[in-house]
A and B are shown apart, each in its own frame.
Chain A
Amino acid sequence: MLANFDFDVIRRSLSYLFIDGMTFTVTLTALAAAGGLFFGTMIALMRLSGYRVMGWIAGLYVDFMRSLPLVLVIFWFYFLVPYIGQWITGSSRPIKVGAFASSLITFILFEAAYFSEIMRAGIQSISRGQPAAASALGLTYAQTMRYVVLPQAFRNMLPVLLTQTIVLFQDTSLVYVLSIPDFLGAASKVAQRDGRLVEMYLFAALIYFTISCVASYFVRRLQARISIIR
């Protein structure tokens, strides 16, 4: 049965798959994780700020993003952002937003909602004595957050943040709907072109599986190390 399969197609397309496809996937994952963490932290701080309106807006945003399927948001954004841009800048035609920029913005906005919940839990895990001690030394609220609370929250939550990033790594394959050649998109293109669907999708699955498993293993080791330090 295996005789009907041509696994050489994988070897022939390796450079396209990895140099083009995987580079895009990893770049998108890294940038979206960094952006999501930054904005997620801001949202978490808004929710915990004690200002009711700010907390309410942040909460609404998180609930909204978490109740929508990611594919839908990616689609919407891709088709809507040019028009929103036109409306904001007042130009005569929809502004051009590349597929990469559009998908990156989408992922940052989407991940920010998830990262904000992780960071909120992290900030709440810090005992109240820590910010009290920082204030007692004369640090301002911003300095207390920047130098005392957030570093600890980030360290405590690092395993969870990384696990979420692994999920994000898999989720980036959804840019496939915008026919962007990420790793899965590239594999799919080769599969369709050469009529080798089984081989290519099998290979893509194997690669996602391997990378995610190895990453999870390192996250578990990191978790063990952190719990010793604490």
Chain B
Amino acid sequence: MIEISHVNKWYSPSFQVLKDCTTSVAKGEVVVVCGPSGSGKSTLIKCVNALEPFQDGAITIDGLKVNDPKTDLPKLRSRVGMVFQHFELFPHLKIIDNLCLAQQKVLGRGQEEATAKGMKLLERVGLKEQAQKFPAQLSGGQQQRVAIARALAMDPIAMLFDEPTSALDPEMISEVLDVMVDLAREGMTMMVVTHEMGFARKVAHRVIFMDRGEIVEDAKKEDFFGQPRSERAQQFLSKILSH
């Protein structure tokens, strides 16, 4: 579904953020990307739907090359859902309108169809009653669940999560993870940048460990948590799992 091959990215000639990254996400597969901050994991996931440009290599989604100038990027992006660390709901629009905007403007759905779809998804994430409120009136956890619903409203073929729980208060993390776990169990193709190893243990098929712009480890979940081959991954795991 998502093929990443030999991607290199430089912020400046002397600063390389991604070094020869190669991996893939198969249909229905859940891949967790972890690593210390500054390791390039967020940059990598943003390259997947071309929110960040990269200079070298190739990424294809469902057979379409992301870094091909001929690719209709808006159309491609509309098929890949993305959830951000800081939610990025549109603060001037009501919750339901946040869900309807792209459905109507990008997919050309009518008001009624878009609203029905939006309400169904709000119900799914347990926020049907909040439809007429504005984002600022919701808690962080609620906003992130709305953001997931907004992405799902586009009927995406895959979902990208960029540290979806990093900006949340601890007691709100589980309500977001629950939604993501359900999604994973339904067979959604997911690429998730996160430090939530509990989530990785529960639903991930593979875990990628990145450090200094490189993919250091790309292993099946059982192998990764059992005995990571690289020393850096072992150190990282021992640090975040020791508490």
Residues of A within 8 A of B (CB): 127, 129-130, 132-140, 143, 147-148, 151-152, 155, 229-230
**Contact partners of B77 in chain A: CB under 8 A:** 135-138
Q: Assess the B151–A137 pair: CB atoms within 8 A.
A: yes
- Shortest CB–CB separation between residue A140 and chain B, in angstroms? 5
Q: Assess the A137–B78 pair: CB atoms within 8 A.
A: yes
Q: Assess the B82–A152 pair: CB atoms within 8 A.
A: no
The answer to whether A138 and B91 touch (CB under 8 A), given A133-B84, A143-B105, A230-B136, is no
A136-B82, A137-B154 given; 10 more Cβ-contact pairs under 8 Å: A130-B90, A133-B84, A136-B51, A136-B81, A137-B150, A138-B74, A139-B74, A139-B102, A147-B101, A148-B101
**Contact partners of B151 in chain A: CB under 8 A:** 136-137
CA distance A129 to B105 in the complex (A): 19
Within B57-102, which residues are at the interface with A (CB < 8 Å)?
73-75, 77-82, 84, 86, 88-92, 101-102
Which among B89, B92, B154 is the interface contact of A138 at CB below 8 angstroms?
B154
CA distance A102 to B73 in the complex (A): 45
Q: Assess the B88–A139 pair: CB atoms within 8 A.
A: no
**Contact partners of A138 in chain B: CB under 8 A:** 74-75, 77-79, 102, 106-107, 154
Q: Assess the B74–A152 pair: CB atoms within 8 A.
A: no
**Contact partners of A139 in chain B: CB under 8 A:** 74, 101-102, 105-106
Q: Check: B49 CB closer than 8 A to any chain A CB.
A: yes
Q: Nearest 5 pairs between A and B by C-beta?
A: A138-B78, A133-B88, A137-B102, A136-B82, A138-B106
CA distance A135 to B81 in the complex (A): 11
Which among B74, B81, B88, B91 is the interface contact of A230 at CB below 8 angstroms?
B91
The answer to whether A135 and B51 touch (CB under 8 A), given A129-B84, A155-B92, is yes
Return the chain A residue nearest B75 by Cβ: A138
Residues of B within 8 A of A (CB): 49, 51, 73-75, 77-82, 84, 86, 88-92, 101-102, 105-107, 134, 136, 150-151, 154
**Contact partners of A136 in chain B: CB under 8 A:** 49, 51, 77, 80-82, 84, 151
CA distance A137 to B134 in the complex (A): 19
Q: Is the interface of A mostly helix, strand, loop or mixed?
A: helix
**Contact partners of B74 in chain A: CB under 8 A:** 135, 138-140
- Shortest CB–CB separation between residue A131 and chain B, in angstroms? 9
- Shortest CB–CB separation between residue A211 and chain B, in angstroms? 30
- Shortest CB–CB separation between residue A132 and chain B, in angstroms? 5
- Shortest CB–CB separation between residue B105 and chain A, in angstroms? 5
**Contact partners of A229 in chain B: CB under 8 A:** 134, 136
**Contact partners of B78 in chain A: CB under 8 A:** 137-138
- Shortest CB–CB separation between residue A215 and chain B, in angstroms? 24
Query: Can you pick out 12 interface pairs between chain A and chain B where the beta carbons lie within 8 Å of each other?
Result: A133-B90, A134-B90, A136-B80, A137-B77, A137-B151, A138-B79, A139-B74, A143-B106, A148-B101, A152-B91, A229-B136, A230-B136
Return the chain A residue nearest B102 by Cβ: A137
CA distance A152 to B91 in the complex (A): 8
- Shortest CB–CB separation between residue B81 and chain A, in angstroms? 8
CA distance A132 to B53 in the complex (A): 13
**Contact partners of A133 in chain B: CB under 8 A:** 82, 84, 88-90
Q: Assess the B102–A132 pair: CB atoms within 8 A.
A: no
